[in-house]
Amino acid sequence: MKLYTIKAVTGCLSDNANKSIVNFKITKVEKVGFNDMEGNIYHVNIKLETPAGYRNKLVAFEINSTYLDEMEDDETIADYLTDWFASFLF
């Protein structure tokens, strides 16, 4: 599976002018490494749901912990990213 950047995924959600994506769901968050410059590195799978249903896509992207600075202590990464992506889609 090809790994996308966080910018590509948010761009896809914000450029959703023809409403080809109606919903999304974070299906997996996996810590895959650590980097002194970026912190923890995660691979995240997100399911993009379309109105037709048969054109749903599962997309994987890489994110590092610098994007998660505003996350609350009791919040999971999946919950934080769900709220963040919802601001781009809805």
Can you tell me the distance from the alpha carbon of 88 to that of 90, in angstroms, rounded to the nearest whole number?
6
* Distances, alpha carbon 86 to alpha carbons 31, 35, 47, 48, in Å: 23, 28, 13, 12
- Tell me the whole-structure pTM to 2 decimals: 0.83
* One-letter identity of residue 71: M
The pLDDT assigned to 77 comes to 94
- For the chain, which domains are there? 3-89 (3.30.720)
Confidence bin at 17 (pLDDT 50/70/90): low
DSSP designation for 68: G
Q: Give tens-digit pLDDT for 52-88.
A: 877 888 999 999 998 888 899 899 999 999 998 888 8
